[in-house]
Structure 1
């Protein structure tokens, strides 16, 4: 069940959810609008394959800061990682779902490839959400820090999760910058097929 604006405010008041920002949260009827931070990562891909088991084949990540005056120009097909301006914290009784902003989607800008936010994310330390941003149009698109970038929907669990994200993944993704993939640490493959997980 997605929470309404009334329920979102209740969740903030009772501590089930918190959002850090220097302004009042941008709460809509059943979501919170999140904004783009100045921190982005530009993956540097090569023509070689990415083997999900082997981190040495993953693209090199180049961190950059974008400015309000120049922003960042996404060429057609470009893919970057960004982060939300807001830090987020969920209790173990809530999960999150990220959704595109329709006006950006209609320009060809996809700001979400991974939409799920686990219960307990940010419980140890409220932190931004990493976004996968892709220009799927045929025209360059310039984006800027501070712009609305996605909707965050809150989902009430049928019961409180026993173990939240921060408890299960201590020390993971603790910086305010977007984070590259660490999928090689948990591929879901049997260890015999995934030597990097040994």
Structure 2
């Protein structure tokens, strides 16, 4: 999508200690840092996507968790459809020992095996998703938290019902070698588990808005 390549503006930022004290052994464990970013339609965006909109991304960091909230408002006079995915790149010590659970029993589109056949669906068996090569899948109907586990690390991924899909991606060695923004061995140390709305795009009427979120929690 075009939004990730456009310049966003800082709308707000805060850093507050909600409880406790700052510094030393009594350092606050409930401190919050939050930043709001905004992207509005411009002649440049309209050349890519001919609609009037405001998009806002709120990034909220708390002890042990990170929440991303994405909002889209239709500021024009015509309804428009849109789809999105939060490109959540997660670092892992070893992708070969990384497992993703919570997708068991869901249908997915395998964009590696069926790139030109988006209607072809496969069923995830009652087993975690592992990574043994290039992986590019769109899972539909995600209704429970996902858990990414790797040696010495566990991450829980939650998402709003308004983001009902999940994109699971790792470029593998050959694809990674073609990417300018990733080191040659970068595929060994990352997994994407993206909250998304792809299978059924959202339609926004003039003057209405939409919101979705993803939360990452350690442990």
Give TM class, smaller chain.
under 0.3
More strand by share: 2
- TM-score of the superposition, structure 2-length normalised? 0.26
